[in-house]
């Protein structure tokens, strides 16, 4: 997950490019890196729930 306006977005894009098909990259529009910590209206909680349910649920 990366903000569309994050300076570090390219790190996430590099990881996805190294593992195509196994890594879903979610780009959050109108967000930078810090926005994804405290601007709850921008955080895609549905995607987080989906990921944790799939990968951590017993």
User: What pLDDT shows up at residue 50?
Assistant: 92
Alpha helices in 1-58 (DSSP H): 9-18, 35-38, 45-56
Q: Which tokens belong to 37?
A: 């910590």
Q: What is the mean pLDDT of each run of 10 residues along the chain (58 residues)?
A: 96 92 90 95 95 84
pLDDT value for 4: 98
35-47 burial, b if ≥16 CB within 10 A, otherwise e? bbeeeeeebeeee
At 13 the pLDDT is 95
Rounded to two decimals, the pTM is 0.81
DSSP classification of residue 58: -
How high is the pLDDT of residue 58? 64
């Amino acid at each position: 997950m990366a903000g569309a306006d994050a300076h570090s977005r390219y790190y996430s894009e590099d990881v996805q490019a190294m593992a195509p098909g196994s890594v879903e990259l979610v780009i959050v529009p109108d967000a930078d890196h810090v926005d994804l910590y405290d601007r709850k209206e921008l955080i895609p909680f549905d995607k987080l729930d989906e990921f944790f349910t799939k990968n951590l649920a017993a």
